[in-house]
Amino acid sequence: MNIGLIGCGNISDQYLTNLPRLPGINVRACADIVMERAKARALEYNIPEHLEVDELLERKDIELVVNLTIPKAHGEISTRILNAGKHAYSEKPLAIHRSDGAKILESANNMKMMAGCAPDTFLGAGIQTCRNLIDKGAIGEPIAATAFMVNHGHEHWHPDPAFYYEVGGGPMLDMGPYYLTALINLLGPINSVSGMTRKTFGERTITSESLSGTKIDVEIPTHVAASLRFVNGAIGTIITSFDIWGSQLPRIEIYGTEGSISVPDPNTFEGPVSIQIGYEDNWKPIDLTHPIGGRGLGVADMVAAVKDSRRPRADISLAYHVLDVMEAIHESSNQENHISIESLCRQPPPIKPEWVEGDFTE
C-alpha cells in the first residue's frame, strides 16, 4: 500500500527507519508545513516526493497517511486525511480534547475509512509476552495494577520543548497513552477514574543546546495521579509526572490472585519481563515469546486490516477510550469526584507467539 507522511519532526526518524522494512508498505511521499524539513527527510530516507500538505492529501495514489504533527494538530490533520478519502494513522494522542477525537470518529464512519493511533508498543515482544502470561492464567485472576512514568520533563534534551508545557501537553497526554494502552491491552477497558493533579513549577528553563536559557511558562498540570477501575474489576494506580528528579519505581506491575508480573517500559518494544508466584521471594525472568518489533507496527497492522476487512489492533476506539480516560482524570481533579468513562473499546486481540514480525495478514 502506498502511504504518505505528514509531519517531519523528531519522531518521523523512527517511523521512516522502520516503515520501509515492514511488509506491504511503500512510503511514497512526505509533507510538512516547513517544506525544508520535508525535503530533508525525503533526501535522508530516499522518499520519492516531498509535498505541501494539501498536495499530499490530493494524491489519488496514496491510500493511507501517517499523521506525525504536534499533538494540538492531530485532530485537525487526521480529520482532513479521512475527509480526503484516505485511511489515517496518527501519532499519540489521538487529539487533545474529546470533542476533536469525536470528530475523527465521525469522519472515519462517514467516509468509511479506517483510523488508528499510536502507541503501537503494545504490539511488541515485551507487552505481548505479558499478555500471553495473563491470558494463560499464570498469575490467576488480575486484581490490580500500578503504572509509573516519572521524570523531570523534556527541556534538558528536546530542541524545542515548549509544547510539552502548553495546553495539549503535560505528562498524562504526552506519556499516558503508552501506559494506559498497555494496561488496556493487558486488562481490558476502564469504566471509572479518580484523579488529582498539580503544577509544581510555574516556569521551566530550557537547557538543550539550541534554545538554552529560554524560559517556558507552564500552562498545565505537571504531576498527575489517578486511580482506575477496570471493567473486569481490577483496580489500577497511575502516576505521570514531569516534576520528579529521580525514582526507583517500576514501570508497570500487574497483580493477580496467584502472583505478579513485572511489565517492561511501555515506551519500548522489548523486555525484560519477570514473574513471581505466591510466596516466592525472587522474580524469575521470562523469555520473550514474540519478535521485538519497532515503531510502525500499528501502521503495518492497519495495512493488513484494510486487506483483510477487519479492525486494526491500534484502532480509533482504543485511542478514543484512552483520550476519554486522560481527560476524565483531569476533570476528576478539577471537580473533586469520581468520573465514569462513557466510551468503551475492545481489548485488542493478542498476537500469536509464532507471528512473523510485521506480517499481520490473517
Q: In the structure, what pLDDT confidence band is assigned to residue 356 with cuts at 50, 70 and 90?
A: confident
Q: What is the pTM of this model?
A: 0.95
pLDDT surpasses 80 at 2? yes
Within 115-258, strands assigned E span 115-117, 142-150, 190-198, 203-205, 215-217, 223-230, 235-241, 252-256
Model confidence at 280: pLDDT above 90:
no
User: pLDDT at position 210, please?
Assistant: 86
Top-confidence residue, 227 or 353: 227
Averaged pLDDT, 74-82: 98
Q: 142-185: per-residue pLDDT in tens?
A: 999 999 999 999 999 998 899 999 998 999 999 999 999 999 99
Going from N- to C-terminal start, the domains of the chain cover 2-117, 125-286
**Residue 31 confidence class, pLDDT cut points 50, 70, 90:** very high
8 Å CB contact between 288 and 273 = yes
At residue 361, the pLDDT reads 76
Asked if residue 359 has pLDDT above 80, the reply is: no
Q: Pick from 292, 247, 252: which is nearest to 145 by CA? A: 252
User: Does 125-286 match 2-117 at the fold level?
Assistant: no
Q: Which residue has the cell 494540538?
A: 72
Q: Is 351 exposed, middle or buried (0-12, 13-18, 19+ CB in 10 A)?
A: buried
Mean of pLDDT values over 121-131: 97
Average pLDDT over residues 53-77: 97
pLDDT (0 to 100) of residue 294: 92
Predicted pLDDT at 247: 94
**Hey, which CATH number is domain 2-117, 3.30.2350.10, 3.40.50.300, 3.30.70.120, 3.40.50.720?**
3.40.50.720
Spatial distance between the Cα atoms of 240 and 335, rounded to a whole number of angstroms: 19
Residue 340 CA, chain-centre distance (Å), reads 22
CATH superfamily of 125-286: Dihydrodipicolinate Reductase; domain 2 (3.30.360.10)
**For residue range 49-62, what is the model confidence (pLDDT) as tens digits?**
999 999 999 999 99
* Cis preceding linkage at 285, omega within 30: no
